[in-house]
Structure 1
Amino acid sequence: MKSGPLALTLGDPAGVGPEIIVKAWSELRREGPPFMVIGDFQAVASASAGGASILRKVLAPAEAMTAFSDALPVLDLPLRAPVVAGRPSPAAAPAIIKWIETAVGLALSGAVCGVVTAPIAKAPLYEAGFKFPGHTEFLGELTASEAFDGARGPIMMLVAGDLRVALVTVHEPLAKVSGLLSVEAIVNAGLVTAQALRRDFAIARPRLAVAGLNPHAGEGGGIGREEIEIVAPAVRALKDLGVEVAGPYPADTLFPQEMRERYDAAICLYHDQALIPVKMLDFWGGVNVTLGLPIVRTSPDHGTAFDIAGRGLARPDSLIAAIRLAEQLARARGA
């Protein structure tokens, strides 16, 4: 494994990111894994009961490794103006984007072993001209020119306990999903997922299960033909490419414990088909992982929670799980 820390971006500073980062450091400071915050020093200090006294400005990842057990290391890239918890502003967007770009650059250079991103809010970024649907697509663009051996993402995977689900479409209106599905998209998601299970999760012979789109997986064409015309051909193509895969399965039978024992990851076709079982299984501890990139990236599986930001109520469970999983994936890649 690379010797550097993880880079943890602050996310939207008006959200719960600063608060859960401080709480995560308090829990992990002794056992690690060590991380370095990339963001606004004052925004992090304002989320801590101890203020700036528990923080330390650092200029390089090596300093963070040394400081982590005693203070929360922060690479200070300041905001143009202070933020108020719970009140997002497009004025913060340039800094939020810069924090992500900096973390990715450090990961590509090998100075940090992976990237963990605190939540961002899309609407303020869109108002400032941000052109990407979210973190996942932006990370894909930032790493597109870098060499990567294998099937290319980005593909979003959610992890909760023993359940891993990868998505073919992500933040798309349900009415558009059918038109966006293709054999090629499902095959790519399957190839990227199988590759990641081998490379990052150390599963030598990964098994995939593919969900259908319609109730009862289309009922032989009686409740929709996407399974016949798109999903089943994609499953056959993946088998021809050497992937151990089965489906399409009705989504309502895919996630009980007995079924989860038959596969290592499920390929889901749209957002809620994947996210509902993840959050039912582990609402507080789910993790978002981006597959098919030359860097390790994880994130908590929740949003900015502006409604409770600054009130001390946010739980760090998902962020802590994301930090620990990022270290696990970095170890696997460095082995």
Structure 2
Amino acid sequence: MSQQRPVIAITVGEPAGIGPEISLRAAWQLRHELRPVLLGDAAYLAMLAHEIDPSIRLMGVSQQALHYNGLPGCGKDQITVLDCPLDAHVIAGQLDPRNGRAVLQTLDVAIESVQQKWCQAIVTAPLQKSTINDAGIAFTGHTEYFAEKTGTGQVVMMLACEASASVPQPLRVALATTHLPLKQVAAAIEFEQLLNTLKIINYDLQTKFGIAQPRILVAGLNPHAGENGYLGREEIDVISPVIAAAQGLGLNVLGPYPADTLFQQKYLQDADCVLAMYHDQGLPVLKYASFGLGVNITLGLPLIRTSVDHGTALDLSKRGVGHADAGSMLVALRMAAQMVHRQV
């Protein structure tokens, strides 16, 4: 394993939320383990850093200088900031659509930084989708945006947490569908899409998590996994045939299991990932067990991208510096660094 510090691009997210604060805190805390590169408004981050801890040292780099010279060297007691200037003054806790385009620009610069090999992975702080949409840009979320910008046909959202007092072993929950209204979920679960989802999960667990033969448990869509067709036929018509096809390809996939009983120790103790059929089927379980310490990972991308498991927390930001918990950002950064090491 390489002993060099992985270079991680960190987009600081919605400037009026807690993203800039938790990004600064986590970057400073982990600066000896990895090289953090913050993407945001350099002047605003410098002001905020001084308020958090006057000993935090930042080195601003313009995008023009980055394109001419690449990423400059940086010592272990300094954080690099790639300057993505905002268009309006930041008021903590108050959204301003004038800053929507600048927030989106941080994602573009982060993607370019990895593609140009200036950075090795991306970690994203939470942004506010409405601010970007209010700026006149159609935007549904980080996951979809990274897929579009990297030309990736299908990606998979997975949330993960490390073992803890409440979680005996690492827990990973992937989603067959993501941000869909519940009434659209059943129609979105199709054979090829679901089989590709399992292939992506299996491949990324092998390459990014170092699991040689991942064991994946699949939840049913309907109560009691359809009750042999009496409570719905999706398990019979789509999910079970997909599982059989995946097994035929050599994947260690089991199910479908009733979702209400799947998340218990006797099933999870030997599982590397659970595939839930929709957002609120699997994620409430993981977030209940690990909220504030979970990590959002986009599988299937040609780059490493992790994120925090929470939102912008405008209410906390409005109360001032010192109320936000950087725990999820710390775990997201460490997990991204571990993935980089595995791929070196």
The reply to whether TM is greater than 0.5 is yes
> Pick from 5, 8, 24: which aligns with 1:6?
8
Partner of 1:243: 251
Are 1:254 and 2:257 matched, yes or no?
A: no
> Pick from 190, 198, 209: which aligns with 1:190?
198
User: 1:53 Cα shift?
Assistant: 6.2
> Pick from 212, 215, 221: which aligns with 1:204?
212
Partner of 1:149: none
Return the alpha-carbon distance in structure 1 between the equivalents of residues 183 and 35 of structure 2: 43
Partner of 1:42: 43
Q: In structure 2, the residue corresponding to 1:91 is in which secondary structure? A: helix
Q: Percent identity?
A: 40
Partner of 1:92: 99
User: 1:110 Cα shift?
Assistant: 1.4
Return the alpha-carbon distance in structure 1 between the equivalents of residues 240 and 17 of structure 2: 42
| Contact 1:166-1:189 at 8 Å conserved across structures | no
Partner of 1:148: none
Q: In structure 2, the residue corresponding to 1:66 is in which secondary structure? A: coil
Counterpart code for 1:125: I
Question: How many residues matched?
Answer: 325
Are 1:128 and 2:135 matched, yes or no?
A: yes
Partner of 1:15: 17
User: 1:263 Cα shift?
Assistant: 1.7
Are 1:322 and 2:332 matched, yes or no?
A: yes
Q: In structure 1, the residue corresponding to 2:16 is in which secondary structure? A: coil
Return the alpha-carbon distance in structure 1 between the equivalents of residues 94 and 258 of structure 2: 42
> What runs of 5+ residues in structure 1 fail to find an aligned partner?
146-151
Return the alpha-carbon distance in structure 1 between the equivalents of residues 102 and 197 of structure 2: 32
Partner of 2:166: none
| Contact 1:300-1:322 at 8 Å conserved across structures | yes
Counterpart code for 2:139: F
Return the alpha-carbon distance in structure 2 between the equivalents of residues 198 and 55 of structure 1: 36
Cα-Cα RMSD: 1.9
Return the alpha-carbon distance in structure 1 between the equivalents of residues 46 and 206 of structure 2: 40
User: 1:268 Cα shift?
Assistant: 0.9
User: 1:52 Cα shift?
Assistant: 9.5
User: 1:66 Cα shift?
Assistant: 2.1
Partner of 2:165: none
> What runs of 5+ residues in structure 2 fail to find an aligned partner?
163-169
Matches within 5 A, 1:19-168: 19-29=21-31, 31-48=32-49, 49=51, 50=53, 54-58=57-61, 60=66, 62-63=71-72, 66-67=74-75, 69-144=76-151, 153-161=154-162, 162-168=170-176
User: 1:262 Cα shift?
Assistant: 2.6
Deviation track 1:16-58 (CA, whole Å, cap 9, x = no partner) reads 11111121123223x3222110110122234332469632213
| Contact 2:174-2:274 at 8 Å conserved across structures | yes
User: 1:216 Cα shift?
Assistant: 0.9
> Pick from 207, 218, 230: which aligns with 2:226?
218
Counterpart code for 2:154: G
User: 1:289 Cα shift?
Assistant: 0.5
Counterpart code for 2:42: F
Q: In structure 2, the residue corresponding to 1:308 is in which secondary structure? A: helix
Return the alpha-carbon distance in structure 1 between the equivalents of residues 247 and 311 of structure 2: 36
Return the alpha-carbon distance in structure 2 between the equivalents of residues 294 and 179 of structure 1: 28
Q: In structure 1, the residue corresponding to 2:315 is in which secondary structure? A: coil
Q: In structure 2, the residue corresponding to 1:307 is in which secondary structure? A: helix
| Contact 2:41-2:86 at 8 Å conserved across structures | yes
User: 1:77 Cα shift?
Assistant: 1.6
Q: TM-score normalized by structure 2?
A: 0.89
| Contact 1:3-1:113 at 8 Å conserved across structures | no
Return the alpha-carbon distance in structure 1 between the equivalents of residues 238 and 130 of structure 2: 33
User: 1:129 Cα shift?
Assistant: 2.9
Counterpart code for 2:230: G
Return the alpha-carbon distance in structure 2 between the equivalents of residues 203 and 116 of structure 1: 22
Q: In structure 1, the residue corresponding to 2:44 is in which secondary structure? A: helix
Return the alpha-carbon distance in structure 2 between the equivalents of residues 321 and 292 of structure 1: 20
Q: In structure 2, the residue corresponding to 1:85 is in which secondary structure? A: coil
Counterpart code for 1:5: V
Partner of 1:177: 185
Counterpart code for 2:45: V
